Amino acid sequence: MITIIKNGYVYSPKFLGKKDILIASSNIEGVYDSLDIPKELGEIKVIDAKGNIVTPGFIDSHVHLIGGGGEGGFSTRTPEIQLSHIISSGITTVVGCLGTDGICRSMEALLAKAKGLEEEGITTYIYTGSYSIPVNNITGCSKSDIMLIDKVIGVGEIALSDHRSSQPSYEDFVKICAEGRVGGLLANKAGVIHVHIGSGKKGIDYLFKVIKDTEIPASQIIPTHMGRSEDLFNQGIQYMKKGGVIDLTTSSDPDFLEEGEIKASSGLKRILDSGLDIERVHFSSDGQGSLPRFNEKREYVGLGIGSVHSLYREFKDCVVKEKIKIEDALKAVTSNVADYLMLNNKGHIEKEKDADIVILNKENLEILHVICKGKHLVEDGKVLKKGTFEG
């Protein structure tokens, strides 16, 4: 199947200008100034972008695919995610993980869910592990999971500075970092350690100690939830200066932020203004994780569910509210994530990359079209493909 996207203003995420994109099967064949369509080529699908914005598909590197939560008892376990929630948010690639519950949620179930979503049309990867050390795994250790299971690209989400963590010693944490590092090298994968950082006073002290006392590079360990507080955000700035990458979580209540919490879009603006390398910043949603809800008095009123749609919302807020250039805002949800996680066919609109593409309304940035591996899954804002058991 050949598809041509015509008359779009293309961001790769670098702005390329008005271009036509030729898609052959699941890959981008090329990006051209203009394409004529010869009749002898047979059936060709043409999508007229109508002067709207064309971007790479979004990558969400932290999603609880089989649900999360449970900290308030069994009735607070959140449900599995559905395909339509992902693609309607412009997301074409996800990385799944386990969280607090590594008992009733298993790595085998996470892997099966990832495979199911891939069959339904998107691209999926997973981390091996959960909050706890020793690490949940499938093959016997995290290193062999990374080496032997195609979908496993790293370890996570290991919890630090949190009352829900397993309170690992520094030595325990270093060993896990080393397993991820070596497993990644042997499998030609990123082998990153994706680390949940709670509100504890130590913050990312372990991470600073690892990069000071060992040969493991800072880029191997990616802390998430780094907008949780002003102190933690400032630690993240220092970590970036030492070569590290930080992840800002987009699932929060933008109307009632927790005390000191920094929205992802605001955090990116501050990092830009400070002159730091924004290629060291990722956004992720924490989708399907449990999310505390507060009223206008900041009183706790119950639990909600983290939404993958927040990834798109914070990208949009970067551009509309924070006045960040589209190409800079896009990096946090496309190329930065792809490059550091070694998702080599993702995150860029280039020849031979996967045809994961989003078309946004040039006036309001609303999602018009989503293409996953060459297949048109959202058209004119309407979801064309739903999960197997979605109504």
Contact 286, 226 (CB under 8 A): no
- 64 in a labelled binding site: yes
- 62 in a labelled binding site: yes
Give how far Cα 177 sits from Cα of 29, 62, 65, 206, Å: 38, 18, 24, 11
- 100 in a labelled binding site: yes
- 131 in a labelled binding site: yes
Q: Which helix (DSSP H) or strand (DSSP E) does residue 155 occupy?
A: strand 152-160
C-alpha 85/C-alpha 111 separation (Å) is 19
- 228 in a labelled binding site: yes
DSSP state of 80: P
- 30 in a labelled binding site: no
Q: Within 71-148, where are the H helices?
A: 83-87, 107-120, 142-148
**CB-based contacts of 344, cutoff 8 Å, min separation 6:** 338
- 164 in a labelled binding site: yes
Contact 304, 291 (CB under 8 A): yes
C-alpha 250/C-alpha 236 separation (Å) is 16
155 strand-pairing partners: 128, 193
- 290 in a labelled binding site: yes
Q: Which two tokens stand for residue 72?
A: 């308030």
Contact 9, 18 (CB under 8 A): yes
Quickly list DSSP for 169-199: -HHHHHHHHHHHHHHHHHHTS--EEEEEE-S
C-alpha 87/C-alpha 356 separation (Å) is 11
For residue 172, indicate whether it is catalytic: no
Amino acid symbol at 208: F
Q: Within the chain, where are the H helices?
A: 83-87, 107-120, 142-148, 170-187, 205-213, 230-241, 264-273, 309-320, 326-331, 335-340
Q: Given CA atoms 329, 330, 333, 336 in this order, what sign does their dihedral have?
A: negative
C-alpha 212/C-alpha 201 separation (Å) is 20
- 73 in a labelled binding site: no
Catalytic residue among 60, 286, 354, 356: 286
Catalytic residue numbers read 286
Specify binding-site residues: 62, 64, 69-71, 100, 131, 164, 196, 225, 228, 286, 290
Specify binding-site residues for Zn(2+): 62, 64, 196, 225, 286
Specify binding-site residues for substrate: 69-71, 100, 131, 164, 228, 290
